[in-house]
Each structure stands twice: as C-alpha cells, then as structure tokens.
Amino acid sequence: MTIETRPSAAHSIATELAAENKRLRAENSGLSQMLAGQPIDLAQARAELGDTTMKNAHNITDRFTGSVIFTAEIQVADDAPMALRLGAATAVAIAAKADLRHADLSGADLRHADLSGADLSGADLRHADLSDADLRGADLSDADLRGADLSDADLRHADLRHADLRHADLRHADLSGADLRGADLSDADLRHADLSDADLRGADLSDADLRGAKS
C-alpha cells in the first residue's frame, strides 16, 4: 500500500530558505561560508552585498539645455524625497568644485548648507530651501530664486545682481554688503533682514515687506 504524504509547513519554509541561501551565494561567493547551514539574516546579507538603496547616482542638469553637468554619488534612501536627493547632490558637487552655473536646483533642500563662495550664477533655485545656509560671497547673479526660503541665511557680500527674488523669504537674512543691483525683490519678505551696506541701486522693492529691516 502506498502512503501519500504532504510536506510539512516547516519543510516548505526550509526549502524556501535553502533557495534564498543559494541565490545569495551566487550573488556573492564571500557569503557562502557565513550562510551555509545557518538561518538567513537578510539585513546582514544586504549589508554584505552592498545596500543599493543607500548608494545612488543623481544627475544635476543645465536649466536651459537639460544636459547633465554633474553626476553625484549620494547616500540616501531610494524613497528619499527629490528635494533631499538634489540637495545632497548639490553638496557633493560644491565639494568637488563642479561648475554649477545655470544648474537646475529648483526645490532643492539646502538647509544649513555651506555654499560660501559658490558660483551659482544663473542657477534655477526656485522654491529651494536655503534657510540657515552659508552663502557668504556666493555668486547668485542672474539666479532665479523666486519663492526660495532664505530665512536666516548668511548672504554677506553675496553677488545677487539681477537675481529674481520675487516672493522669496528673506526674514532675518544677513544681506550686509550684498550686491543687489538690479535685483527683483518685489513681494519679498525682508522682515528683520540686515541690509546694511547692501547695494540696492536699481533693485525693485515694490510690495516688499521691510518691517524691522536694518539698512
């Protein structure tokens, strides 16, 4: 008489684990000894294999042509917001002294970033978060900063000639000694900003909020 048996749940699980062991060994032979005959620790296996969710390449493009001007290797999660990814890529590009003139950095998360002396002339920084950023001596001439958050930013002696700062948040920003000739600051929030020794010749300050600003 033939007795038909069904594989137990434990046997099924063991079979699945064996298959997973085999796959991981094929991907990285260095794991074979660690995994042989032992329960699979997927977190450890991913760490050994290189967690691709943490290492990403992000391109910074030219705002006018769309061509790639810099590719940065960044360490952020795959599901990180685009603003954070772009901010991280920008930080890498700045450290590498990449040419970011006319770069598309719109919406980038650059809070607390050290951008002192950076050449961002003509860059698209619309709605970028530059709050508390160090922009001392940075070249932001002809940059598009519409709606950008520059609150508490250090913009001392920055070049902002002909920059578009409409609706920008510049509360408590330090703009002392900045060159703002021909800049468009209409509807900008400049409450409690420091504008001492700033060059505002030809700047458009229509409807800007200057309450508490220092000049």
Mean pLDDT of 85-104: 96
Higher pLDDT, 2 or 214: 214
Structure tokens at 184: 């468009």
C-alpha closest to that of 127 among 105, 142, 154, 155: 105
* Confidence check: pLDDT of 40 > 90: no
**CB-based burial of residue 196 (10 Å sphere; 0-12 exposed, 13-18 middle, 19+ buried)?**
middle
Position 44 scores a pLDDT of 54
Apex CA 56: angle with CA 54 and CA 61, to 5°? 150
* Confidence check: pLDDT of 140 > 60: yes
E strands, the chain, in order: 56-61, 68-74
Mean pLDDT of 21-40: 45
Mean pLDDT of 126-138: 98
Position 197 scores a pLDDT of 98
Position 178 scores a pLDDT of 98
Tell me the CATH class for 53-215: mainly beta
Beta-carbon contacts of 180 under 8 Å, excluding residues fewer than 6 positions away, are 160, 161, 163, 198, 199, 200, 203
pTM comes to 0.76
Structure tokens at 161: 């000639």
Position 18 scores a pLDDT of 53
Owner of token pair 């590498």: 96
Using pLDDT thresholds of 50, 70 and 90, give the confidence band for residue 19.
low
* Confidence check: pLDDT of 125 > 60: yes
- In angstroms, the CA 85 to CA 98 distance is 17
- In angstroms, the CA 88 to CA 3 distance is 64
Structure tokens at 128: 């970028």
Position 124 scores a pLDDT of 98
Output Rg (C-alpha) for the chain, integer angstroms: 26
| Mean of pLDDT over the chain | 84
Position 10 scores a pLDDT of 45
- In angstroms, the CA 145 to CA 128 distance is 8
pLDDT tens, 152-192?
999 999 999 999 999 999 999 999 999 999 999 999 999 99
Q: Where are the domains of the chain?
A: 9-49, 53-215
Position 42 scores a pLDDT of 40
Mean pLDDT of 91-113: 97
Position 78 scores a pLDDT of 82
